[in-house]
């Protein structure tokens, strides 16, 4: 109202120079335009004058109803909502380059998108543990782009994504969520495991269109800064999981999925690529073992082929192989590393995996004889703590 009150004063001064105080709408608007105001400003200024007849206004008397409304608004006015800039709901940062990461699959295409700084929402789908999230993070690292990762789950709601009120040092303060923070800083927003969310994700429809977002709790409108983009990862294509392996996934609304121009399908890496990955991880953990690495590669490839043929319900992921390498570096026992890392599977699957691994071990060492207790030769299977030579 302050801007229109100033206009009202200027109009009153100009209109009443000859003593006349009552004017029609057209005369008031024409005078406003002659003073350099717009038609709309002149029109709204009229409402601040007291109406004295049909289409006639006294420009020296304020509108009683307007004054009352202004007074009421002032009486009920609230202090501006304090906001925090501390990273409570999500952090914005440039990821570090991971030395052992191997660029493969969709990495180059994703790096092109990230480097372009074009708003181009991208959906990445693939089985668990094949490097989807790491690929996005490392693309941002190499492009030196700000990155925000938001983990999506069944209970993720608008408050989590856009922001909400938080209790900080005994004071209620509004904290902007990771989506808003990414928009403001022109960062890459990763919606990780987006197919684990519910229909509450529909609050992001406008975000996926690159449109401004109204924060309803504060009334603030946030515009996406240049470079802002959304990348989502998922184990499915948003249609749920028929085989029950990803039971926490949900069916994503078609209108939500349609806002992604492209979908990248991420498979498990080839044997050659996975060989580089395991080699790098063995170097990272200081436990390089070419023979063990090769057995792991053949073992995993055989399991995946059997899985694809429908003879197994589970699969060994690249991430699981990296877990085995790390576990081996801790315990120094290959068989123990395998057993610990496949114990997450049901008994039948675990036994099948273990038996297949034994076959590949024996194929790699045909001169050894396996005892009934699971050992090979005169030492515990895979042990490197014995005085006897290590198995590989």
pLDDT of residue 66: 56
**Cα dihedral: 383, 384, 390, 392 (round 10):** 80
For 244-274, the pLDDT digits (tens) are 678 888 999 999 999 999 999 999 999 999 9
Q: Domain 6-62 is of which CATH architecture?
A: Orthogonal Bundle (1.10)
**Closest alpha carbon to 229 in 262, 278, 193, 268:** 262
pLDDT surpassing 50 at residue 158: yes
pLDDT of residue 373: 40
The whole-model pTM stands at 0.72
Kindly report the average pLDDT of the chain as a whole number: 86
Structural domain boundaries in the chain: 6-62, 92-265, 271-364
Alpha helices in 163-313 (DSSP H): 178-185, 254-257, 271-284, 290-308
- Bigger pLDDT: 13 vs 73: 13
pLDDT surpassing 90 at residue 227: yes
Rounded mean pLDDT, 160-184: 93
Using a 10 angstrom Cβ sphere, with 0-12 exposed, 13-18 middle and 19 or more buried, the burial of residue 185 is middle
CB 207 within 8 A of CB 167: no
- Order of strands across the sheet with 163-168? 83-84, 171-176, 163-168
Give the model's confidence band at 57: pLDDT under 50 very low, under 70 low, under 90 confident, else very high. Answer: confident
Tokens of 24: 């029609």
Give the model's confidence band at 390: pLDDT under 50 very low, under 70 low, under 90 confident, else very high. Answer: very low
Rounded mean pLDDT, 277-286: 97
pLDDT of residue 312: 92
Among 81-90, 103-112, 210-219, 325-334, the least confident range: 81-90
Rounded mean pLDDT, 368-379: 39
Residue 286 phi, psi dihedral angles, 5° rounding = 65, 35
Among 18-27, 29-38, 152-161, the least confident range: 29-38
Give the class (CATH, top level) of 92-265.
alpha beta
């Amino acid at each position: 109202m302050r801007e229109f009150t100033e206009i009202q004063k200027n109009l009153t001064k100009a209109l009443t120079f000859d003593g006349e105080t009552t004017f029609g709408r057209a005369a008031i608007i024409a005078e406003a335009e002659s003073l350099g105001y717009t038609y709309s400003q002149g029109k709204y200024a009229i409402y601040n004058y007291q109406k004295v007849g049909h289409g006639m206004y006294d420009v020296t008397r304020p509108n009683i109803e307007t004054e009352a409304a202004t007074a009421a608004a002032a009486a009920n006015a609230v202090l501006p909502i304090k906001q925090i800039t501390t990273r409570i709901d999500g952090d914005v940062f440039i990821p570090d380059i991971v030395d052992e990461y191997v660029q493969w699959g969709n990495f180059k295409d994703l790096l092109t998108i990230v480097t372009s700084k074009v708003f181009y929402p991208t959906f990445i789908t693939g089985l668990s543990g094949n490097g989807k999230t790491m690929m996005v993070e490392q693309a941002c690292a190499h492009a030196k782009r700000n990155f925000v990762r938001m983990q999506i789950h069944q209970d993720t709601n608008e408050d989590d994504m856009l922001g909400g009120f938080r209790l900080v040092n005994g004071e209620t303060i509004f904290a902007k969520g990771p989506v808003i923070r990414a928009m403001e800083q022109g960062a890459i927003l990763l919606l990780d495991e987006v197919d684990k969310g519910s229909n509450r994700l529909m609050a992001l429809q406008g975000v996926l269109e690159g449109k401004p977002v109204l924060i309803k709790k504060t009334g603030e409108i946030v515009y996406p800064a240049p470079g802002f983009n959304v990348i989502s990862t998922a184990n499915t294509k948003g249609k749920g999981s028929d085989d029950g392996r990803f039971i926490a996934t949900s069916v994503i609304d078609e209108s939500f999925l349609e806002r992604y121009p492209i979908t990248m399908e991420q498979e498990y890496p080839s044997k050659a690529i996975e060989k580089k990955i395991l080699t790098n991880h063995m170097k990272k953990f200081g436990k390089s073992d070419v023979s063990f690495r090769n057995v792991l590669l053949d073992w995993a490839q055989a399991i995946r082929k059997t899985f694809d043929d429908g003879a197994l319900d589970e699969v060994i992921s690249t991430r699981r192989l990296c877990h085995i390498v790390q576990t081996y570096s801790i315990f120094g026992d290959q068989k123990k590393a395998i057993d610990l890392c496949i114990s997450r599977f049901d008994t039948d699957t675990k036994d099948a995996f273990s038996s297949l691994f034994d076959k590949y071990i024996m194929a790699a060492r045909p001169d050894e004889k396996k005892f009934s207790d699971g050992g090979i030769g005169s030492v515990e299977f895979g042990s490197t703590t014995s005085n006897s030579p290590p198995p590989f």
